[in-house]
Structure 1
Amino acid sequence: MKQPTILVVDDEPAIHRFLKPSLTAEGYLVIQAMNGTTALALAASERPDAIVLDLGLPDIDGKRVIERLRRTSDVPIVVLSARDREAEKVQALDLGADDYVEKPFGIGELMARLRAALRHRQPAAPGLLKSGDLSLDLEARIVRNGAHTVKLTRREFDLLAILLRHAGRVVTHKHLLHEVWGKANEADTQYLRVYIGHLRQKLEDDPAAPTRILTEAGVGYRLV
């Protein structure tokens, strides 16, 4: 079985010295870039299976790198950055990043996000979305939570389908609102919060302390 190749893009040598052996120990092949120009060239020539990308690069802002990559590629991108402003996270995700991990970071968290991003790009059975014991049949519009069938409204079903397509990854408020309610409602986060509450009531063991649909404060939601 081919080892997945990970392109690590960061201008800090210490990050490369730390990440390369950690990723190698997990079974990945690692290629490295210190700036955005090299990263774009390597992404085109080496076709990595995923990219770990810093936003603060010396030549091209990381968000522009994401934007340019997404013109031709759907390679999974996990942003790794010291920028902790919510607006930065949201913009990177809306431009097409799969996930966002803040520096300083734990290697366990980064590996988990990377695995989730790689799983997301693997083809699933046609018409069926699954995460753990939760499954959604797109054609029959049936949702099962373990052995139980869950009754959802049309909006709830569509919202859950998007979260399942991106299982393990954070999905921004803007993306969820745009996909379910249309462009005119992209700013109505209170409306989205109500429907997330409905899903939690129907899917969580304790809706007041959710463990399946998690809130990413100021950014969006993640289904785990």
Structure 2
Amino acid sequence: MATLYAKLGVSQDATWEEIKRAYRKAAMKWHPDRNVGQEEAAGAAFQEIKDAYAILSDDDQRKVYDAVYAQEMRRWEALQKRQQEVEAARARKAKAEAEAKYSQMVGVAMRYADEGHNRDVLFGVMLGRECDADMAQRIADSVWALQQARRAAQASESAEAADAIDQEPPSQTQPAAAKQDKPSHDARAAGVFDSLWQGFFGVRS
């Protein structure tokens, strides 16, 4: 809401002379006789200007107005601050709930993927649990891709293990220390999968 000072186009610390000059200028601009065809709107604006001048041109009324305005401004600012705090708290709660829902859906999708279900089943399960379609699609695609990566790593490990057995001389045994120093393919595969999982979801399986 515009202040009385704003209606006259002056600052709150304007002198009496400045208020008087501003009133004359505004009165001439909005006088109904100078606004043919817009008499009603001009008359309303002209009356507001007269009322503003009547208060601001009187020292006692101006002091009362300034005091009331300052009090109302403090009340309004406190109300605005409270509303902002409420909105911020509501936003934090909504974010926390969304993150919890997302984590829950990822866990469900991982469980179904571990049971051997394909991507379409994962997507359907997400929808059946009232998951947003876009989120359900992202989770299903990501979990399925990660599960495929894990299975590919396990298959590769099995193939390498079989090759190692075929190529190892029957009479040659590998020292235990050497076996311990070299990380197993399973550990490497798990590390790769954990890195992928961390990149997609920010948590470890």
- Scaled to the shorter chain, the TM-score interval is under 0.3
Higher relative contact order (CA closer than 8 Å, sequence separation 6+)? 1
Bigger Rg, structure 1 or 2: 2
Judging by fraction of residues, say which structure has more helix. 2
TM-score, normalised to structure 2, is 0.22
